[in-house]
Structure 1
Amino acid sequence: MKTTKASIYMTYTIKNLDTETLFALYKNMLKPRLIEEKMFILLRQGKISKWFSGIGQEAIAVGVTMALQDDEYILPMHRNLGVFTTRKIPLYRLFAQWQGKASGFTKGRDRSFHFGTQQYRIVGMISHLGPQLGVADGIALASKLKNKNQVTAVFTGEGGTSEGDFHEALNVASVWQLPVLFCIENNGYGLSTPTREQYNCKDIADKGLGYGMESHIIDGNNIVEVFTKVSKIAESVRSKPRPVLLEFKTFRMRGHEEASGIKYVPQGLLDAWAMKDPVMNFQAFLKDENLLNENQEVLIKEAIVHEINEHLEVAFNEEDIIPDETIELNNVFKEFEYQEFNNNLELKEMRFIDAISEGLKQSMEQHDDLVIMGQDIAEYGGAFKITDGFLEQFGKDRIRNTPICESAIVETAMGLSIAGIKSVVEMQFADFVSSGFNPVVNYLAKSHYRWSQNADVVIRMPCGGGVAAGPFHSQTNEAWFTKTPGLKVVYPAFPYDAKGLLATAINDPNPVLFFEHKGLYRSIRQDVPTDYYTLPLGKASLLKEGHEVTIISFGAPIHWALETLENNPDISADVVDLRTLQPLDTETIFNSVKKTGRAIILQEDSLFGGISSDISALIMEHCFEYLDAPVKRVASMETPIPFAKQLEDQYLPKNRFEVALKELLTY
C-alpha cells in the first residue's frame, strides 16, 4: 500500500489508483473551484443574482460522481457544482441556467441548481431540500424492479437531516432494501445554525443505526478517500441492494449564499478548515509525488479558464428570453393525447367501489409495470378493500404496502416516474394527504414546467362526509389542489365515470388527484362495461336538461341535487356533473347558463375558497349579460366537519340546497 503525505493536514492512500485517475480527480475538483472564483467576480459585477458556494466541499461532489457509473442517477444540492461538471454538462448551459436564458435547463423558470436532466442522469433539488431523498427512493426502487443493479446517490446537508422527509426516506429505503447512497454533507452550519443546535448525537452516521442501515463516516475533504470508499460501497450495493448512509465531514468556507457572509463563524474554525482545503492539498500531494509540475499546473488551469470564458461568452451573447404566454401555459403539463378505448358492449351492474377496483385491476393489466403503493393495500386489501386480491394476481413488487409516511411515498412515486414507471398512490383517507402536501404541490405539480420532467402519478383520494367519521376522515379537500397549476383533479360521481376516468388518469403522464367519495362506494350502482375503457378528462356530463336553471356540482352533491329535482318535478333544470375539476369544462357550463339564465353551484366543501367561487366568477365574467339572477353558491358550513350525525347533517349543505334553489328561481 502506498501512503504519502502532501502536508500534515491530509493523508492520501492511493493503492490501485493509476496516474490517469489521480489526474481526473484533480481536474474535476479544479474546474468547479475555478468556475466559482469566476462567479464571485460576476456576482460583484451584478451579472448573476445569487451564488451558493461549494468551495471546500468539491471532493465530495467529484468523488461520489466519479464513483458512480454514468447511467446511475445522482440527486445533488446547490453546493454540488462538481456533480454537474464531472458529468460533463456543457458549461454554457450551466451559465445560461444561472442567467435565466433559454438554453439553460429551466428556460428561465427556476434558478441555480433547481433543475434536472435526464441526459446526464441528474435530478436537482427544490428549495424544500427534503423531498429529493424520497425521490431517490423511487429511482432506486425502479432500478430494483428492473433488475438493473444500479445505485442512486442523493445529497443533503446536516440541516436537512432534521426534516421529516429524511427520516421517512431512510425508513422506506431500509424496509424495502433500496440501493440508495444517502450522502450527508456535514459542513458545520445550516445557514447560521451550528450542528450542536441541529441534532443531539455525536455523528449523523449514528442515525442510520435506528433504521437498521449500514453507515460510514468519510473525510469529505480527502478526494482519494471519498472516491475509493464510495466506489467500494457502490460496487457492493450493486451486487447486494441496500441503503447506506454516508456522512462526509467537511466545512462550508463561504456563507450560506454570498450575501449572508460568515461573521457567525469563529475565525479559528475557518483557519483550521482552510488548512484542509481539498483542492490545494491534493494539488500539493501530486507535486510532492512528482505527478504534477508547475508547467502542467499552469496549462491545466489555463485550459479550464479558457473553457470558462469561452462558454461564458456564449451564454452572455444569448438573447434574453422573450415571454410568450402560449409557450408558458403549454409547458405546465406534459402533452397527452387522449386515446379512447371503448370496444365492449357487455354491461354489468357495479357499485361505485367495484368500478374503481375493476378499473385499477384492468389498468394493472394494461400497464405491466404499473405499481400501486399505500398503507394496508396488500394482504389486507386496503381500508375499503378496493385492492383485495391484487396481491395474489400482481405480486408484492407491484402491490406495495407502505409505512405510514405519506410524504416519502409521494416522493417515491415521483422517483418512479423519473425512471419511467407509472404509479398509483392510495391515500387511506384524502385527509392524510396533508402529511404529504409539500411533494404534491411543489414537486409533482411543478416538475414538468421547471425542467420538462413529468410526474406520472395518480393519487387516489377517498374523501367526503355523511359517514360520521369526523374532522380527520371526512374532508373534501379538492380546493387545495385545484389552486395549484400542474395538477389535474378528477372527482367522479357514478361508477361508469369512475372506472373510465381512472383508466385515463393512469394513462395520462401528468399528476392526477383522483377523488372518490366514500359515501358513494357502496350506495351507488350503475351498469358499467366489463372490459377496459377510457373517458376523456375535462369533459363534464349533462345529466338532465331543462330551461329554468343550471345546477352545477360534482361528487356526492350531484346525487343530492338529483334527489331534490325528483322531489320537485315542476323545476326544469340542467344538471351539470363536472366530473373533472382541473381541467374544467367551461364550455358546457357557459352553454348551459346562457340557455337557462340562472346558475347554482353545489359543493360539499366549505364555501370560502372552494371551487364554486371560481366557477361563479367565471360565469359572471363570461355570461353576465345572459343572467337573470346572481349566481348562487351552496356549500358546507365554515367549520371543520363534525362527528355526531346531527351536527354533520347541519354542516353538510344537502338539506339547505332545496331552499337555496327555490330562492334563486323566484329572484
Structure 2
Amino acid sequence: MDFDRKQLTNEQLLDLYKKLLKPRLIEEKMLILIRQGKVSKWFSGIGQEAISVGVTAVLHKDEYILPMHRNLAVFTGRDIPLYRLFSQWQGKANGFTKGRDRSFHFGTQEFKIIGMISHLGPQLGVADGIALAHKLRNEGKVTAVFTGEGATSEGDFHEALNIAAVWELPVMFIIENNGYGLSTPTNEQYRCENIADKGIGYGIESHIIDGNNILEVYTKLDALATSMRENPRPVLLEFKTFRMRGHEEASGTKYVPQELMDMWAVKDPVTNYREYLKTEKVLTDEYDEALRAELKKEIDEHYQQASAEPAIEANLSEELNDVYKTYVFEEVNSKSNSENVRMIDAISQGLKQSMERHDKLVIMGQDIAEYGGAFKITDGFVAQFGKDRVRNTPICESAIVSAGMGLSINGYKSVIEMQFADFVSTGFNPIVNYLAKVHYRWQENADVVVRMPCGAGVQAGPFHSQTNEAWFTKTPGLKVVYPAFPYDAKGLLATAINDPNPVMFFEHKALYRSMYQDVPTDYYTLPFGKASLIKEGDDVTIISFGAGVHWALETLAKKPEINADLLDLRTLQPLDMEAIFTSVKKTGKAIILQEDTLFGGIASDIAAMIMENCFEHLDAPVKRVGSLESAIPFTKALEDQYLPKARFETALAELIAY
C-alpha cells in the first residue's frame, strides 16, 4: 500500500492512527461480548475504518454526518463518550434511544450525527435536506452521507443524487463498496464497472478512492471538503474496500472465496498504516503499546460503567408520550373581516400567510413554482417568496419527503405537495418509517406537512381519485387532518405548519372550487382533535369528514324529518372521541360515512370504539357506509355507483327505522 503524507505533520499522522486504532479495539471487544452473549447483534466494520476516520476528520464538528451501521469510527471520531455507546448497544437508559432501537439506529444533534433506518435509502434524501438548509443560510458547510454498494440499487439513491445535482447541494455521497450486499456479490447487483460511473448520468463530480489507505482518504477528502464549502456541489465518492466479517456476526463469511479474504487481509488499513508510521520513525513500538493499553483501559472502564446501569423498566406513559413531540397549541384569533372564498383560495391564503409568518418555511413539489401547482394553490408565490423557498422538484416523492426530514433536522419547516394524494405511495417509506418514528426513536421532531389533494367525484380514474387516509391513521407518529370547509382548511393548515410533528393534510379536490364560505382574510389557527358539530338533533349521530360531510348535509336537506347530530371530524389523528361518545350517548344511534372503501377504513375503528364505550346507550347496531371494494372507476355512472352517497341515504333510513 502506497502512503503519501504530503504536508501532514507527525502529530497529524499520529492523530489519524489513534482515530483508526480506537474503533478497531472496540470492535475486538464487541466480538468477545457477542460470543459471550452480552450483546445481541453487531455489524462489524473491521477493514473499513479508514473511510469513517477520514470523513470525520476532515469535516467540521458542526457539519452533519449520516453514517451506516458499520461506521463506528464516525461516532468515536466525534468523541461520543464510550459508555453512552455501550449503553446504546445494551439498550440502557444512557444510550440514545431509551432502549427502543439498537445498534447505530439513532441520531444526536449534540454530535451532529444522524443515523440510518434499516431501509437505508431514505438517509440519502435526508442529507439533501440538511445540505439545502445550509445552502439557504449561505453557511458554506458540507454534509456527508454513507451508504453501501447494495443500497445504490434503491430508487432513493438515484432520486437523492438527482436532487442534489439539480439543486447543487454540498453533499458528499460516500459509497463504501465492500464487495457484497449481505451475500450478494457486486456482479449480481450492477453492470457498470464502477459505482462512481453513475455520477456521469447525474452530471456530478465523482471519484474512486482506496478506502483502506487512510492518507489517500484524508488528503483527497480534505481538499474536496474545502472546495465544496467554497463552491457548493454534490460529489459521489466510491471507496473500494472490503468487510472482513459477515454482514452481521451471525451470518458469517462462508459465501466469500478464501482467496478474496486472503487478498484483502494483507490490505488491512490499521496494520498497514502502523507499519508505515514505524518506517517513517513517527511511531515506536513502545508508544504503540502504551497507546493500546490506554485505549483498552478506557474501553473497559466505559463498558463496566454501562454494564452497571440498571435495565430499562417499561413505563407506559413515557412510551406513549414520546410518540409525538409535545406541542402546545397556540391559538391565534382573526382580527379582520371575512370574505366569501372557495376552499382552494382559503388553502392558498393559509399557506401564503404561514410563509410570511415563518421565514424558514420551504414549500416543495412538482410544478409548484412559476406554474403555481396542478391546482394553482401556489400561483404567485415565487414572485413573493422566491425560488429558494418555493421549489419545483423532480418527480421523486421519496427523496423529497426525506429532504423535508433533513430540513427539519437542520432548523427548517417544510410543506410538501403531492400533486395527487395517490402519488404518495412512491414516498410512503420515508413517511411511515422515518417521519412517523423519528421522535419515538431518538426524540427528534419531523417538522413536515404533506399536502394531499385527494378524492373522487371529478372523474379522474383509479390513479388520481383515491382518498387514502387509512394508510396513515394506522401509523403512530403521524397526524392526519381532513377538513370539509374553507374556514377549517385555512385555520387547520396554519396549525399543521406550526406543529413540529409530521402532518398529512388532506384536501378534497371536488371541494376546491365548489365549496364557498366566509373566511377571515388574516391569519388564524384552529386546534387539532376538535370535531365540529354542524347540526344538532336527537334521532341519530352522523359522523363524517371531507366530502362525506356535504353528502350528509344534502341527505338531511332532503329528509327534514330526520333530526341528527352531524359531526365533522376535521382531524382523524388526533380524533375527537369525546365529541363522538357524547353525541352517541345522547342519540342512541350512530352511522359513520367515509369516502374510502369500507374494509379497513377509519369508520371501522370508530364503530368499534363506539361499541366498546357506548354499548349500553345504543338503540341500534352502529352502521358504516363507504365506497365499493374496488379501485375508483373513470366514467361518471361507474364512479357514482362506486361512491357511497346513494347508499348512505338508504342506510340512514334503515337506521332511523330500526
TM-score range, shorter chain: over 0.9
For 1:108, the equivalent position in structure 2 comes to 99
2:47 and 2:243 in contact (8 A); partners too: yes
Candidates 358, 370, 373, aligned match of 1:382: 373
Q: CA–CA distance in 2 between the matches of 1:370 and 1:267? A: 54
One-letter amino acid matched to 1:127: S
* 1:545-560 equivalent positions in 2, closer than 5 A: 545-560=536-551
TM-score relative to the length of structure 1: 0.98
Shift, 1:345, TM fit = 3.9
For 2:458, the equivalent position in structure 1 comes to 467
1:357 partner SS: helix
Structure 2 gap ranges (5+): none
Q: Percent identity?
A: 74
For 1:53, the equivalent position in structure 2 comes to 44
Q: CA–CA distance in 2 between the matches of 1:51 and 1:470? A: 49
2:363 and 2:415 in contact (8 A); partners too: yes
Shift, 1:343, TM fit = 3.5
CA displacement 1:217-256 (0-9 Å, x = unmatched): 0000000000110010011000000000000000011000
One-letter amino acid matched to 1:176: W
For 1:190, the equivalent position in structure 2 comes to 181
For 1:589, the equivalent position in structure 2 comes to 580
For 1:81, the equivalent position in structure 2 comes to 72
CA displacement 1:36-80 (0-9 Å, x = unmatched): 100011111110000000000000000010010110000000010
Matched, 1:564 2:545: no
CA displacement 1:56-109 (0-9 Å, x = unmatched): 000000001001011000000001000000000000110010111111000100
For 1:4, the equivalent position in structure 2 comes to none
Q: Cα RMSD over matched residues?
A: 0.5
CA displacement 1:346-372 (0-9 Å, x = unmatched): 111110000000000000000012100
Q: CA–CA distance in 1 between the matches of 2:10 and 2:560? A: 89
Q: CA–CA distance in 1 between the matches of 2:10 and 2:479? A: 54
1:149 partner SS: coil
Matched, 1:509 2:500: yes
**Residues matched between the structures, number:** 658
Q: CA–CA distance in 2 between the matches of 1:540 and 1:604? A: 18
Q: CA–CA distance in 1 between the matches of 2:631 and 2:37? A: 50
2:330 partner SS: coil
1:262 partner SS: coil
2:462 and 2:631 in contact (8 A); partners too: yes
One-letter amino acid matched to 1:125: M
One-letter amino acid matched to 2:442: W
For 1:231, the equivalent position in structure 2 comes to 222
Q: CA–CA distance in 2 between the matches of 1:198 and 1:235? A: 33
2:3 partner SS: strand
2:405 and 2:447 in contact (8 A); partners too: yes
Q: CA–CA distance in 2 between the matches of 1:124 and 1:171? A: 22
Shift, 1:136, TM fit = 0.2
Candidates 303, 324, 327, aligned match of 2:318: 327
For 1:119, the equivalent position in structure 2 comes to 110
Shift, 1:293, TM fit = 1.0
Structure 1 gap ranges (5+): 1-9
Shift, 1:289, TM fit = 1.1
For 2:489, the equivalent position in structure 1 comes to 498
Matched, 1:314 2:302: no
For 1:33, the equivalent position in structure 2 comes to 24
Matched, 1:621 2:606: no
Matched, 1:260 2:251: yes
1:40 partner SS: helix
Matched, 1:204 2:216: no
For 1:602, the equivalent position in structure 2 comes to 593
2:177 and 2:239 in contact (8 A); partners too: yes
Matched, 1:427 2:418: yes
Candidates 359, 384, 398, aligned match of 1:368: 359
Shift, 1:344, TM fit = 1.4
Q: CA–CA distance in 2 between the matches of 1:647 and 1:305? A: 73
Candidates 257, 279, 295, aligned match of 1:288: 279
One-letter amino acid matched to 1:95: F
Tell me which stretches of 4 or more aligned residues in structure 1 moved more than 4 Å.
none
For 1:342, the equivalent position in structure 2 comes to 333
Q: CA–CA distance in 1 between the matches of 2:415 and 2:323? A: 21
Q: CA–CA distance in 2 between the matches of 1:393 and 1:651? A: 42
1:602 partner SS: strand
2:334 and 2:520 in contact (8 A); partners too: no
For 1:476, the equivalent position in structure 2 comes to 467
Matched, 1:655 2:646: yes
One-letter amino acid matched to 1:178: L
TM-score relative to the length of structure 2: 1.00
Q: CA–CA distance in 2 between the matches of 1:505 and 1:318? A: 40
1:604 partner SS: strand
2:239 partner SS: strand
One-letter amino acid matched to 1:548: D
Q: CA–CA distance in 2 between the matches of 1:618 and 1:103? A: 38
CA displacement 1:633-667 (0-9 Å, x = unmatched): 00000001110110000000011101000111111
1:621 partner SS: helix
1:359 partner SS: helix
Q: CA–CA distance in 2 between the matches of 1:280 and 1:345? A: 73
One-letter amino acid matched to 1:661: L
Shift, 1:16, TM fit = 1.0
Shift, 1:19, TM fit = 1.2
Q: CA–CA distance in 2 between the matches of 1:321 and 1:404? A: 44
